[in-house]
């Protein structure tokens, strides 16, 4: 039974299917978080925005990171491999791999500036994405997953986050971009 479970969540197809199956749960999480925030006095616009951004970051990033951490056929048997020459691996990557690498941190790049005003700048998103991608590549190496830890993966993952941030940029400074200040009710002790 455990082997079948691993075969299902340990493949690209299985993770993609699980992501689709979990979409209603993600939508429910957005709704629940927004209603919880509204019940505590948060303005409705900010409650929905923050909830969507938080769930979007997690839902849109975790499956891609999971896929990058899937072990190869000789995981644990071969030492980690590193490629530090920029653009050496990029030209050997297929179109699907480039698109996949662009998507790994795209949700983080799109939603982080919507949720956290401190991240609402392209240089900060670039730094965040580069750091996260570097952590992923380091984990692949340290865990000996039979994958190549490549500087090109870091570059493409970061580019995907920055492109997604550019796509969401018009909403960064929308009126609901800052959380409301909670004021004590009239007549209550401050």
Q: For 12-64, write each residue's pLDDT tens digit.
A: 788 888 889 999 999 999 999 999 999 999 999 999 999 999 999 999 999 99
**CA separation for the pair 104, 91 (Å, rounded):** 19
87 within some domain: yes
Cβ contacts of residue 148 below 8 Å, gap of 6+? 81, 82, 83, 89
Render 96-139 in DSSP notation, one character per residue.
HHHHHHHHHTHHHHHHHHHH-GGG-SHHHHHHHHHHHHHHHHHH
Residue-range definition of the domain harbouring residue 147: 2-177
146-181 pLDDT, tens digit per residue, is: 888 999 999 999 999 999 999 999 998 765 444 555
pLDDT at position 5 is 58
Q: In terms of pLDDT, which residue wins out, 74 or 176?
A: 74
pLDDT at position 4 is 62
112 within some domain: yes
Residues paired with 149 in a beta bridge:
82
37 within some domain: yes
**Mean pLDDT highest for which of 69-73, 138-142, 174-178?**
138-142
185 within some domain: no
As for how many domains the chain has, the answer is: 1
Residue 62 CA, distance from chain mean position: 6
183 within some domain: no
187 within some domain: no
């Amino acid at each position: 039974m455990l082997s079948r479970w691993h075969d299902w969540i340990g493949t690209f197809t299985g993770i993609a299917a699980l992501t689709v199956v979990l979409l209603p749960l993600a939508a429910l999480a957005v709704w629940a978080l927004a209603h919880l925030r509204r019940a505590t006095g948060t303005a409705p616009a900010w409650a929905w925005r923050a909830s969507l951004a938080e769930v979007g970051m997690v839902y849109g990033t975790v499956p891609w990171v999971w896929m990058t951490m899937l072990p190869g056929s000789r995981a644990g048997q071969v030492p980690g491999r590193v490629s530090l020459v920029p653009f050496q691996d990029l030209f050997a990557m297929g179109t699907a791999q480039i698109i996949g690498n662009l998507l790994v941190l795209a949700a983080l790049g799109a939603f982080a500036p919507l949720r956290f005003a401190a991240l609402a700048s392209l240089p900060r998103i670039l730094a965040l994405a580069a750091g996260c991608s570097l952590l992923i590549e380091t984990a692949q190496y340290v865990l000996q997953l039979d994958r190549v830890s490549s500087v090109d993966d870091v570059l493409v993952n970061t580019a995907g986050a920055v492109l997604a941030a550019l796509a969401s940029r018009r909403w960064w400074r929308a009126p609901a971009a800052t959380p409301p200040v909670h004021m004590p009710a009239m007549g209550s002790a401050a």
